[in-house]
Amino acid sequence: MNRRMIAYILGWVLIAEAMLMMPSLLIGIVYREESYRYFLLPMLLLLLLGAALVIRRPRNTAIFARDGCFIVAASWAALSIFGALPFYFSGSFQTIWDCIFEITSGFTTTGASILSDVESLPKCILFWRSFSHWVGGMGVLVFVLAIAPLAGNRSLHLLRAEVPGPVVGKLVPRVRATAKILYGVYSVLTVILIVLLRLGGMSLFDSVCHAFGAAGTGGFSVKNAGIASYDSAYIEIVLGIFMLLFGVNFNIYYCLLIRHAKEALKSEELQWYVTIVVLSTAAITINVFSLYQNFGVSLRHAFFQVSSILTTTGYATADFAQRWPAFSQHLLVMLMLIGACAGSTGGGLKISRLILLVKSFYQEIRHVISPRAVRVVRLDGAIVENETLDSTRVYFISYILIICVSTLLLSLDGFDFTTNLAAEIACFNNIGPGIGLVGPTGNYSAYSAFSKMLLSVNMLLGRLEIYPILIVFSRSAWRK
């Protein structure tokens, strides 16, 4: 394990976080709040620590898969702990555990909150909360790779540990250029969304914060009632469409950019994604029609909810946890498990993994019928290697195990089974609101400090796709 290189890259991450706090500080100054009291100290701390770590570039810059996982896990843990400091200094939160839960939920783009009255918070704190979604969505190491002078040759290990999906590829040969393209596409889409929301009558501050929430597929709102408080069909449709756009594999935008639309639209994952959205929206529209007695309104709510849940954003316009029929609730929970496309900002199991699992299931059935049949799984016309299939299956098993064990531990707090399971699923898949007591109108404040930390770890497990976090706890990884 190359400890010096891990420390070096971690140092850059800390410096990047200090830089990322800058906009929040400025927002506070613009709104005449005491933002310097919340942000200056953490920024100074981050800069000093970061500078101490990067002051000497290690001679040996080679990192391996294990180091990549360590760097990513350590960076995200550091991000969450230092990111919680402004919250703590602002005095709007009761305990440090609440602060850590809230910021982890921000960086992992979960959007689960312990706050009941967000409107009373200072604007700079609200901005930091939403901005953390935007940063966490594309990944902070991808950001660091784009700006800092890091080892180029082996940085794929970092990209791999941070960018979600069963297989991570680069767009162009250089990691650095790839990181820039990803952030470029991401920023342009975000700016378009801000402009569109502003045109829909949202205030500039609200549009920026909500655009960040949608772009990172996070889900923090700056209103107590969330998106429902605007009660505007335009805003809901714009947000619904953009959440879906951010849930698409970003490689597809790159293909469109270099005019390879045909190949981009042929992507099987994209086709499944669209199909799932259309079918679930239709099913929920019919199911909730009796509730709203209006086809347009039912469709609007159904579409927004499907888009928000499938992309793991977690914005809500309707209280599906309390008012919607069981069928719709169940369907939404299933969408939570599936999640968005690989290589997007969304969480969950990922559509491409679902495709691989369904296809290998189908192959297994075929194999039972005719035992001599050769099992071949194809994706986008290419044969999927057995190694990839195996790792996908094992991933699915670990995914289910983590949900089971965590829900068991959560149940120590004494809430009902539905609430515990929904809370676990909503945090692990980085969605935010679940059903039961943690639905769109509820929050997570009732859970004990232990459960909040457990859920925070779960959010990190979900965002970084399990292994980078688990590896830190494995003894063989620490061995020389």
Partner 1 sequence: MILRAFYKEQTYEKQVVSFKPALQNGHNAGMVKTFFVMFLLEASFIKTIIVGGGKVGQSLAQQLLLEEYDVTIVDRSSRVVEQARTTLDIIGIVGNGAAYPVLESAGAKDADLLIALTASDETNMLCCLTAHQLGAKHTIARVRSPEYYDQLFFLKECLGLSMAVNPELAAAEEITRILRFPSATKVEIFARGRVELVSYHVTESNGLCGTILSDLPHKTGIKVLICVVEHGDNVVIPSGNYRIAADDTLYFTGAPEQIVAAFRKLGLLTERVQNVLIIGGGRISYYLATQLAKDKIHVKIIEKDAARAVELASLLPKANVLQGDASNHELLMEEGLNRQDAFVALTGLDEGNILSSIYAHHLRVPKVIAKVNNDNLVSLIHDGGLESIISPKRITTSQILRFARALSAGRDREDILALYQIVGGRVEVMEFRAASAAYCDMPLKTLPIRPNILIACIVRQGKTIIPNGDDVIQQDDSVLVVTAGQRLIRLADILQGNV
Q: Which chain residues interact with partner 1 by CB under 8 A?
A: 65, 152-157, 160, 166-177, 180-181, 184, 188, 251-252, 254-255, 257-260, 263-264, 267, 352, 379-385, 387-388, 391, 467
Query: Based on CB atoms, which residue is closest to partner 1, 293 or 476?
Result: 476
Find the shortest distance in angstroms from Cβ 65 to partner 1.
7
Residues 6+ apart with CB under 8 A from 321: 329, 422, 433, 434, 435, 436, 438, 439, 440, 441, 442
Report the alpha-carbon distance of residue 22 to residue 24 in Å, rounded: 5
Count other Cβ atoms within 10 Å, centred on residue 7. 16
Query: Based on CB atoms, which residue is closest to partner 1, 392 or 443?
Result: 392
Helix (H, G, I), strand (E, B) or coil at 113: coil
Query: Based on CB atoms, which residue is closest to partner 1, 68 or 106?
Result: 68
Query: Based on CB atoms, which residue is closest to partner 1, 82 or 467?
Result: 467
Query: Based on CB atoms, which residue is closest to partner 1, 19 or 167?
Result: 167
Find the shortest distance in angstroms from Cβ 396 to partner 1.
13
Residue 124 CB burial class (10 angstroms; 0-12, 13-18, ≥19): buried
Find the shortest distance in angstroms from Cβ 379 to partner 1.
6
Q: What is the CA radius of gyration of the chain?
A: 22
Please report how many Cα atoms fall inside a 13 Å half-sphere around the Cα of residue 389, on the Cβ side: 17
Count other Cβ atoms within 10 Å, centred on residue 411. 16
- Asked whether 43 and 18 are in contact (CB, 8 A), the reply is yes
Query: Based on CB atoms, which residue is closest to partner 1, 172 or 195?
Result: 172
Query: Based on CB atoms, which residue is closest to partner 1, 65 or 81?
Result: 65
Query: Based on CB atoms, which residue is closest to partner 1, 167 or 409?
Result: 167
Find the shortest distance in angstroms from Cβ 383 to partner 1.
7
Find the shortest distance in angstroms from Cβ 359 to partner 1.
13
Helix (H, G, I), strand (E, B) or coil at 197: helix
Residues 6+ apart with CB under 8 A from 197: 206, 207, 210, 211, 235, 238, 239
Find the shortest distance in angstroms from Cβ 349 to partner 1.
16
Find the shortest distance in angstroms from Cβ 476 to partner 1.
15
Report the alpha-carbon distance of residue 269 to residue 354 in Å, rounded: 9
User: Quick one: which of 428, 429, 421 has its CA closest to 455?
Assistant: 428
Find the shortest distance in angstroms from Cβ 256 to partner 1.
10
